[in-house]
Amino acid sequence: MMATSPADIPSKKDKNASPKKDRSLVEAELVSSVAWLIRLRWLAGVGVLLASALVSVIFPFGIQQGPLYAIGIGILAYNLIFYLIERRLRQASAPATSFDQLAKWQVGFDWLAMTLLIHFSGGIESPVLWFFIFHIVIASIFFPPRTAYLFALLAIGLVTGLTLLEYFGVLTHLPISGLIGIPLYQSSAYVATVLLFFTSTSLITAYLASSIHERLRQREEEIIELTRNLRRATNRLEALNDGARLVGSTLELPQVLNRLVESTALAMGVRACSIRLLDITGRKLDPVAVFGLSKAYLEKGPVDPEDNPLAREVLSGKVVNVPDAPNSPLIQYPEEARQEGIRSMLSAPLTGKDGPLGILRAYAVEPNRFTPDDEQFLAAIAAQGSIAIENAIAYHAIETLDATKSQFIRTVTHELRSPVSVTQSLLKTLVAGYVGEVSEQQKEILGRAVRRIEFLQTLVDDLLDLATGKAEGKALEIREAVDLRAAIERVVERFRVPATEKELALEFADLTPTQPFIIPATVDGLDRILDNLISNAIKYTPIGGKVTISLSGITDGAQVTVEDTGIGIPEDAMKHLFEEFYRAPNARTLEQQGTGLGLVIVKDLVNRFSGRLTVHSTLKVGSRFTVFLPLAEPELMHIAQDASTEAH
Amino acid sequence: MNKKHILIVDDDPDQRLVIRLPLEAEGYEVKEAANTEEGRRLVLETKPDLIILDVMMDSTTAGFQLALELHNRADDSEFKEIRNTPIIMLTAIHSTTPLRFAPDEDYLPVQTFLEKPVDPELLLTKVRGFIG
């Protein structure tokens, strides 16, 4: 009875490889049932004591009370011991087998107590006899049917044995005087009838209780199975969803692929997953992302579609299931697979717009692990993965192209800069007469050349600025803490002379003079922003007009406006304002020279400093450019303070 | 007439010409070096009163390196005699080099900067300011 194998404990219908996790549900049930049985027995013990007292009142002389009380106390006593054992087992997180054994011991003791109780309450004549049925029901709930029947047979054996011993006078029959007039225990017919009915009732009870419980267990198993399926489905949906997000993301390719293999392996609940992509020659499949495989296995040797029948078949667009990898003719490295512990493989093609890209493969330690469901799932992941891979490659290509373009512009303009600069200086030297007298006409022609070359110089400088900004982007943090007010004062001062020449009123309105404005930017960049905006305002404002620069605080930032009473920007031109080389028609008419890059540079720089730029303009009335710039973090502020004190 | 000597160190011959012409017109004696090596040699040979130095030559900071060498304060410096000779450094406007340009005795032992394209008037004003 005690020698039970652990396999008895969970369901007998051991559906293929029921994982540990699910068995623990059955275990948990057993553990809690043992506790329940002990609680129930406290009541039973007390019940026996109460019943004994009650019986002694009803039949004052018909019964020996002593043994009945003793049995009640005995039940409570052994229940206390079981209670203590149960508590210790629970604290020690003992295995389910220990609880199973404990349950069997308990039932054994209960059987003994029942038999004694029957003996001392009238043997075969005892009404307590039928209480055995409850115990059989409980045993049927606790144990698998076979064990339940054994316990039922044991009960029948005990009752029959007791009855026969009393019948033959080996044991003294203890009748309940007053309840039954004649001594029925000596009546063969009565004894035979009761035993027959007891036996059949016990067996039928065991059968019914076991069957009902068995059906309940099956239901439970189905629920567990369903839960497992649901969990798997959820994992897969998550993997697919993850894949979908990868498709839309602009991550770097290695990141995309690593996420893909990891989520696929986890969703399928398999040992490993890998992606191999075809190299440029199409003769080699390189592992580019791996989850769960050893380095040794990856370095087993080159995978060439020409020599690898599995790769060839998958690349032709098929999902291929290899149920027994170490013995499959499709596998190029069967011995390595065996050493790695891989028994089955499932491969799906990664296919791009222009043909095969590579292979997505799942590896399992169990043979014949992959089902048609798995095939569908892997194919779906591979389809999504293909798009993600193509996106990532395309994104990378665009990025590289953009960087190359910027670098090209940078190099070209850089090369242009020296000759333009020197030519300009040479012409100026001529005009200034350092190499001899220059006639008025020559001066006039040289002056034109100087102006053209000056424009070229501006263009080169602007282009270089733009390309540098593009190349550096926001990633390169060359930020310092710059005093915005000082920068405005400096640039405004620079334009005093040109403004006066044009009879323009140039004003700086410092609206909150006591508030410091420290901006995370670069001195050069901030200068360029202000320089471009103010020079534009002066350039496009007719003689006698007014240019006002104002500085004020906004929440967490500074606001600089450059407002003029100039020609304004036509509505049609507004949407092109920040396009490279664009110049509004009225600006073109007024001022021949202009690169159409100034505002592009301003916008670019403002963006790089995490700011915002807005434009309001009315044709023939004037324009207002507003720059919002966030203030520096407090830790940058003191740096700025130091810098400004040093400068003075 | 006490002729002042000026040394131009620049790898661009046209740039050297642009600087030389106004200076000569003003009566200065001008020597030219096409690289830092030649510059070192001519500094020792001619002991100029003023040096005009381009930043970018063999490398993007070759001019700075030379300026540091020339103004070295160590007692065993081979340029001991000319360590107080003023240096004007030529830089491109809106320079994209990450170096911050500001005359700083500790880091950049140069007296002033002159932006390219060189304006002859501005050049002469600066030169006069140093050596009259």
pLDDT digits (tens, 9 = 90+) for A456-486: 888 888 888 787 776 565 444 556 788 999 9
Same domain as A352, residue A208: no
Chain B closest CA to A632's CA: distance in Å? 20
Q: Which of A429, A461, A478 sits opposite B21 (nearest CB)?
A: A429
Residue A574 counted as domain residue: yes
Same domain as A322, residue A198: no
Predicted pLDDT at A413: 79
Task: Find the mean pLDDT for residues A404-433.
Answer: 85
Predicted pLDDT at A439: 92
Residue A468 counted as domain residue: yes
Q: What is the pLDDT of residues A315-358, one digit of tens each?
A: 999 999 999 988 888 888 888 899 999 999 999 999 988 889 99
Residues 618-647 of A with CB under 8 A from B: none
Residue A171 counted as domain residue: yes
Q: Is A425 on the interface with B (CB under 8 A)?
A: yes
Q: Is A461 on the interface with B (CB under 8 A)?
A: yes
Residue A37 has pLDDT above 50, yes or no: yes
In A564-622, alpha helices (H): 571-574, 585-590, 598-608
Q: Is A411 on the interface with B (CB under 8 A)?
A: no
Q: Is B84 on the interface with A (CB under 8 A)?
A: no
Same domain as A299, residue A172: no
Residue A520 has pLDDT above 70, yes or no: yes
Least confident of A19-28, A223-232, A356-365, B25-34: A19-28
Contact criterion met (CB below 8 Å) for A553 and A513: no
- pTM for the model stands at 0.51
Residue A644 has pLDDT above 50, yes or no: no
Q: Is A61 on the interface with B (CB under 8 A)?
A: no
Task: Find the mean pLDDT for residues A490-509.
Answer: 93
Q: Which of A421, A468, A478 sits opposite B117 (nearest CB)?
A: A421
Q: Which residue has the higher pLDDT, B90 or B96?
A: B90
Residue A271 counted as domain residue: yes
Share of chain A above pLDDT 70, in %: 90
Residue A288 has pLDDT above 80, yes or no: yes
Pairing of strands A546-554, A557-564: antiparallel
Domains and CATH numbers, chain B: 5-124 (3.40.50.2300)
Same domain as A460, residue A523: no
Q: Choose the final residue of a domain: A432, A450, A472.
A: A472
Same domain as A484, residue A611: yes
b/e for A254-289, b at 16 or more Cβ within 10 A? eebbbbbbbbbbbbbbbbbbbbbbbeeeeeebebbb
Residue A385 counted as domain residue: no
Inter-chain residue contact B96 with A464, CB threshold 8 Å: yes
d(CA A16, CA A228): 13
Retrieve residue A314's tokens. Answer: 């998958």
Kindly report the length of chain A.
648
Same domain as A194, residue A73: yes
Kindly report the length of chain B.
132
Same domain as A573, residue A499: yes
Inter-chain residue contact B117 with A418, CB threshold 8 Å: no
Task: Find the mean pLDDT for residues A138-163.
Answer: 90
Task: Find the mean pLDDT for residues A487-504.
Answer: 92
Predicted pLDDT at A389: 83
Q: How confident is the model at residue A197 (pLDDT cuts 50, 70, 90)?
A: very high
| Other Cβ atoms within 10 Å of A376 Cβ, number | 13
Compute the half-sphere exposure of residue A563: CA atoms within 13 Å on the CB side of its CA.
13
d(CA B85, CA B66): 13
Q: Which of A426, A464, A528 sits opposite B14 (nearest CB)?
A: A426
Q: Residue A251: exposed, middle, or buried by beta-carbon count in 10 A (0-12, 13-18, 19+)?
A: middle
Task: Select from A406, A423, A434 the residue whose CB has the most chain B CBs within 10 Å, as the one to mutate to test that interface.
Answer: A434
Same domain as A525, residue A453: no
Same domain as A192, residue A53: yes
Same domain as A584, residue A446: no
Inter-chain residue contact A422 with B12, CB threshold 8 Å: yes
CATH number at residue A296: 3.30.450.40
Task: Select from B8, B10, B11, B18 the residue whose CB has the most chain A CBs within 10 Å, as the one to mutate to test that interface.
Answer: B18
Residue A397 has pLDDT above 80, yes or no: yes
Residue A2 has pLDDT above 50, yes or no: no
Counted domains in chain A: 4
Q: Which of A410, A434, A478 sits opposite B120 (nearest CB)?
A: A434
Q: What is the pLDDT of residues A54-88, one digit of tens each?
A: 877 776 666 677 888 899 999 999 999 999 999 99
Residue A586 counted as domain residue: yes
Taking all residues of chain A, what is their mean pLDDT, rounded to a whole number?
84
Task: Select from B115, B116, B124 the residue whose CB has the most chain A CBs within 10 Å, as the one to mutate to test that interface.
Answer: B116
Same domain as A295, residue A210: no
Q: Choose the final residue of a domain: A440, A472, A504.
A: A472
Residue A393 counted as domain residue: no
Q: Would you give the DSSP letter of residue B4?
A: P
Inter-chain residue contact B25 with A524, CB threshold 8 Å: no
Task: Find the mean pLDDT for residues A155-162.
Answer: 92
For A450, list phi and psi in degrees, rounded to 5. -60, -45
> In 3-state terms, what secondary structure has residue A226?
helix
Predicted pLDDT at A580: 83
Predicted pLDDT at A471: 58
The residue behind tokens 């810098």 is A643
Least confident of A30-39, A248-257, A503-512: A248-257
Closest Cα to residue A70, out of A55, A56, A43, A52? A52
Pairing of strands A344-352, A518-521: unpaired
Least confident of A220-224, A255-259, B84-88, B103-107: B103-107
Q: How confident is the model at residue A18 (pLDDT cuts 50, 70, 90)?
A: very low
Task: Find the mean pLDDT for residues A511-523.
Answer: 89
Q: Choose the final residue of a domain: A472, A497, A530.
A: A472
Inter-chain residue contact B21 with A435, CB threshold 8 Å: yes
- Kindly list the residues from chain A whose CB atom is less than 8 angstroms away from the CB atom of residue B92: 417, 421
The residue behind tokens 């054992």 is A85
E-assigned strand segments in chain B: 5-9, 29-33, 50-54, 87-92, 112-116
In A510-568, alpha helices (H): 523-539
Q: How confident is the model at residue A589 (pLDDT cuts 50, 70, 90)?
A: confident
d(CA A484, CA A463): 25
Chain B closest CA to A570's CA: distance in Å? 31
Same domain as A125, residue A27: yes
Residue B62 has pLDDT above 70, yes or no: yes
Least confident of A58-62, A115-119, B62-66: A58-62
Q: How far apart are the first and last CA of chain B?
A: 13
Give the residue numbers spanning the domain of A261: 251-380
Contact criterion met (CB below 8 Å) for A102 and A34: yes
Q: What is the pLDDT of residues A272-283, one digit of tens each?
A: 999 999 988 888
CA distances from B88 to A552, A605, B109, B130 (A): 40, 31, 10, 10
Q: Which of B14, B21, B92 sits opposite A417 (nearest CB)?
A: B92
Task: Find the mean pLDDT for residues A372-398.
Answer: 87
Residue A161 has pLDDT above 90, yes or no: yes
Q: Which residue has the higher pLDDT, A410 or A640?
A: A410
Q: Which residue has the higher pLDDT, A639 or B69?
A: B69
Which of A16-20, A63-67, B119-123 ranks highest by mean pLDDT?
B119-123
Spatial strand order of the sheet with A505-510 comes to A505-510, A546-554, A557-564, A622-630, A612-618
Locate the chain B residue with the closest alpha carbon to A427.
B18
Residue A325 counted as domain residue: yes
Asked whether the CA dihedral A189, A194, A197, A198 is positive or negative, the reply is negative
Q: Is B119 on the interface with A (CB under 8 A)?
A: yes
Q: Is B93 on the interface with A (CB under 8 A)?
A: yes
